[in-house]
Amino acid sequence: MEWHEEFRSLFPALRDRIYLDIAHHCCPPTPVVDSVHAFLSSLSRTGGSNQVPNEAVPPVRDKIAAFIGAKPNEIAFIRSTADGINIVAQALPLQPGDEVVINDQDHSSNVLPWLALKKRGIVVKVARSQDYRVPVDSIAGEITPKTRVVAISHVQHRSGFRCDLKTLSDLCHGRGAWLVTDAIQSVGSSAFNVRELGVDAAACGSYKHVLSTVGSGFVYCSEELLDVMEPVYAGPSSVVRGNKDTGWQVEVTDRRDARRLEAGSVNEAGALGLGAGLDLHFKYGPRRIQERISYLASKTAKSLREAGYQVVCSTTPGEMSGLVSFKVDSAESFRKHLLASGICASTKDTDIIRVSVHAYTLEWEIDRLAEVVAGYKR
Question: Of the two residues 205 and 286, which places its CB atom closer to ligand PLP in the complex?
Answer: 205
**Residues 6+ positions from 377 with CB-CB distance below 8 Å:** none
Contact 154, 162 (CB under 8 A): yes
Beta strands in 143-236 (DSSP E): 147-153, 178-182, 201-205, 217-221
Q: 268-284 vs 286-306: helix axis angle to the nearest 10? A: 80
d(CA 131, CA 299): 21
Q: Which stretch binds ligand PLP (CB under 6 A): 76-84, 117-125, 327-335, 353-361?
A: 76-84
DSSP 283-351: HH-HHHHHHHHHHHHHHHHHHHHHTT--B-S--STT---SEEEEE-S-HHHHHHHHHHTTEE-EEETTT
Question: Of the two residues 159 and 238, which places its CB atom closer to ligand PLP in the complex?
Answer: 159
| Smallest separation (angstroms) from ligand PLP to the CB of 280 | 20
Binding status of residue 185 toward ligand PLP by CB under 6 A? yes
Report the residue from 109, 290, 347, 361 that binds ligand PLP according to the rule CB under 6 A.
Answer: 109
How many residues make up the chain in this entry?
A: 378
Q: What is the DSSP letter of 179?
A: E
d(CA 272, CA 278): 10
Binding status of residue 205 toward ligand PLP by CB under 6 A? yes
| Smallest separation (angstroms) from ligand PLP to the CB of 358 | 15
Report the residue from 17, 107, 256, 302 that binds ligand PLP according to the rule CB under 6 A.
Answer: 107
| Smallest separation (angstroms) from ligand PLP to the CB of 91 | 17
| Smallest separation (angstroms) from ligand PLP to the CB of 156 | 7
Q: Which stretch binds ligand PLP (CB under 6 A): 63-71, 75-83, 162-170, 188-196?
A: 75-83
Question: Of the two residues 90 and 303, which places its CB atom closer to ligand PLP in the complex?
Answer: 90
Q: 363-374 vs 286-306: helix axis angle to the nearest 10? A: 20
Report the residue from 81, 105, 238, 321 that binds ligand PLP according to the rule CB under 6 A.
Answer: 81
| Smallest separation (angstroms) from ligand PLP to the CB of 281 | 18
Binding status of residue 184 toward ligand PLP by CB under 6 A? yes
Q: Which of 77, 344, 8 is nearest to 216 (CA)?
A: 77
Q: Which stretch binds ligand PLP (CB under 6 A): 68-76, 181-189, 348-356, 358-366?
A: 181-189
Contact 335, 139 (CB under 8 A): no
Provide the pairing of β-strand 178-182 with 323-327. Answer: unpaired
| Smallest separation (angstroms) from ligand PLP to the CB of 206 | 8
| Smallest separation (angstroms) from ligand PLP to the CB of 243 | 35
Question: Of the two residues 172 and 323, which places its CB atom closer to ligand PLP in the complex?
Answer: 323
Greatest CA separation for the chain: 74
Question: Of the two residues 185 and 267, which places its CB atom closer to ligand PLP in the complex?
Answer: 185
Q: How many residues bind ligand PLP (CB under 6 A)?
A: 12
Contacts of ligand PLP in 131-170 (CB under 6 A): 153, 157
| Smallest separation (angstroms) from ligand PLP to the CB of 216 | 9
Q: CA angle, 185 as apex, 141 and 340 as ends, to 5°?
A: 120
Q: Which stretch binds ligand PLP (CB under 6 A): 2-10, 54-62, 74-82, 232-240?
A: 74-82
Binding status of residue 82 toward ligand PLP by CB under 6 A? yes
Tell me the one-letter amino acid at 248.
Answer: W
Binding status of residue 348 toward ligand PLP by CB under 6 A? no
| Smallest separation (angstroms) from ligand PLP to the CB of 154 | 8
3-state secondary structure of 46: helix
Binding status of residue 182 toward ligand PLP by CB under 6 A? yes
d(CA 70, CA 291): 22
Q: Which stretch binds ligand PLP (CB under 6 A): 118-126, 177-185, 218-226, 309-317?
A: 177-185
Tell me the one-letter amino acid at 95.
Answer: Q
The residues binding ligand PLP (CB under 6 A) are 80-82, 107, 109-110, 153, 157, 182, 184-185, 205
